[in-house]
Structure 1
Amino acid sequence: MMTNWAPAACTLPTAERPFRVAEFDALFATHVTSVTRVDPTTLDLTLAAEAEATTLDLTARETECCSFFRFELTPTEDDQLRLRIGVPPAHTAVLDALSARVDHD
């Protein structure tokens, strides 16, 4: 399991990073129904609607330690959720690693 995708800009203590990665892995494994790489700096995930509270909590905590992330959670027309994850160009490698963790096709 790769747990070193967090860049130096991340302020989450190193000892806590594996737990955060596990939280993302659980969200991805349980609730993601599709993945679309929009462009090098943007990733869209479609999630089951029941993941809303978990996703809002997790992304809020992630933004606190990795302020370069942009998370936008919106409902879709088919009663699911779209989580758009964006990063600045300097952090595309982080988005690549995150995308690789969710890409379970």
Structure 2
Amino acid sequence: MAWVPQSCTLPTEEQPLRVAEFDTLFVDALVRVERPARVRARLVLDAAAEPAARELAARETSCCSFFTFTFEHDETGRLLMDVAVLEAHVPVLDALVARAAGART
């Protein structure tokens, strides 16, 4: 739970459930993690995960408004889920990237 910032408005008892949802997305759909900028990460996902990824991102933005999620598809049809933060929240992004990368191993 180290990556959940104090500014998150999700009730504390619901935070482990949200982390588990991200873990499930990472395990089930993550192809790779890219870090094109210090303040931005790109999660390359199987295209079939798009509805779940969009819904999870919408709920995450509602409690952690410092996240910005954008979506597009690459030339192979995979879903590109970009996650951006302001400089002050880079440690949160770092932890999210580490968690995603850990799910790949």
Q: Which range, TM-score by smaller chain?
A: over 0.9
TM-score (norm 2): 0.95
After TM superposition, where is structure 1 displaced by more than 6 Å over at least 4 residues in a row?
A: none
Q: What is the letter of the counterpart of residue 30 of structure 1? A: D
- Aligned-pair CA distance for 1:4: 2.8
Structure-1 separation of matches of 2:39 and 2:21: 22
Matched, 1:26 2:28: no
Separation (CA, whole Å) in 2 of partners of 1:72 and 1:39? 15
Match of 2:75 in 1: 77
- Corresponding pairs, count: 103
Alignment of 1:4-43 (within 5 A): 4-43=2-41
The C-alpha deviation readout for 1:35-93, integer Å capped at 9, x for no partner, is 11112110001100100100010000000000000000111110111000000000000
User: Which sits farther off after the overlay, 63-72 or 30-39?
Assistant: 30-39
Percent identity between matched residues is 46
Task: Name stretches of at least 5 consecutive residues in structure 1 with no aligned partner.
Answer: none
1:93 aligns with 2:79: no
Tell me the C-alpha RMSD between the 2 structures. 0.8
